[in-house]
Amino acid sequence: MNVTYACCQCHRTNREPLTDGSTQLRCVHCGYEQGIPAGAIRDGRLQRCVVCPSDDLFVRKDFSQRLGLLIILVGFIASSVAWFYYLQLVAFGILAATALIDVALYLLVGNLLQCYRCRAEYREVAELDSYEAFNLETHERHRQQEARLAQMGMAERGAAEKRLAETGRKGQAGEDTTGGTAD
Ligand SMILES: [Zn+2]
Ligand SMILES: [Zn+2]
């Protein structure tokens, strides 16, 4: 089994192998290390996300929507070119072929396990069928939680900036401390 996750410090993507004995994740880009919660992997089975560590996980197709859209877009452009040169049949053929390629790719790719909360992806997971499929309610719960946290973070930052500005005013002119309000 392996996990693909975004480092919480530098936000870049990492992929690391996981076993029962894994105790920490280490970012290959910035070296940031974070511990894996005890019992997250038991008997080769993922009990909870090793990154965030929520136990809400869902199974989904290992299919990149971006790639799917790209194929459709390329097909659309190619068929437009064919249409321009009065090759109607070729144009329709290209459109049909790209749609078929998309469907075939979707059917061919395997499944992966994903965390609702931090979107970490787990591949080569044992007993993948025993995990639940995507649930909109759970997704919505996590989305709202995330929005609340972001709001709280913003309010906190606003308060901190206000405090900073006030102390800057009390002291000297504050050359570099009040620059944070620029954005
Ligand atoms: Zn990092
Ligand atoms: Zn997670």
- Residue 157 is inside which H or E element, if any? helix 136-170
Q: What is the pLDDT of residue 68?
A: 86
Point out the ligand nearest to the CA of residue 12.
1
Q: Is 146's pLDDT higher than 50? A: yes
**How much is the pLDDT for 53?**
87
Residue labelled with tokens 């992966």: 112
pLDDT value of residue 44? 84
pLDDT above 70 coverage of the chain, percent = 91
Minimum-distance ligand to the CA of 36? 2
Cα 73 to ligand 2 centroid, rounded to whole Å = 32
Tell me the pLDDT band of 83, cut-offs 50, 70 and 90: very high
Ligand closest to Cα of 26 equals 1
Q: Quote the ligand 2 centre to 160 CA distance (angstroms).
A: 28
Is residue 160 scored above 90 in pLDDT?
A: no
CA 99–ligand 2 middle distance (angstroms): 33
Tokens encoding 77 = 């452009």
Beta bridge partners of 133: 59
Question: Can you list the pairs that 20-27 forms with residues at least 24 positions away whose Cβ atoms lie under 8 Å?
Answer: 20/44, 22/50, 25/50, 25/51
C-beta atoms surrounding 117 within 10 Å: 20
Q: Is the dihedral of CA 116, 68, 7, 111 positive or negative?
A: positive
Which ligand is in closest contact with the Cα of 31?
A: 1
Phi, psi (rounded to 5 degrees) for 10: -105, -5
Cα-to-centroid distance, 15 and ligand 1 (Å) = 12
Q: Are 164 and 90 in contact (CB under 8 A)?
A: no
**Integer CA distances (angstroms), 34 to 24, 45, 52, 88, in order:** 6, 20, 10, 57
54 Cα–ligand 1 center, Å? 20
From the list 45, 2, 37, 3, the residue with the least C-alpha distance to 20 is 45
Q: Judging by DSSP bridges, how do beta strands 57-61 and 45-46 pair with one another?
A: unpaired
One-letter amino acid at 142 equals: H
Mean pLDDT of the region 132-156: 92
What average pLDDT does this structure show over 90-113? 92
SS3 113: strand
**Section 117-133 average pLDDT:** 93
**DSSP for residue 173:** -
Mean pLDDT of the chain: 88
Residue with tokens 């996981």: 18
Please check the confidence at residue 174 and state whether its pLDDT lies above 50. no
pLDDT at 47 over 90: yes
- Of all ligands present, the nearest one to the C-alpha of 120 is 2
Taking residues 147-175, what's their average pLDDT?
77
* Angle between helix 65-84 and helix 88-108 axes, rounded to 10 deg: 170
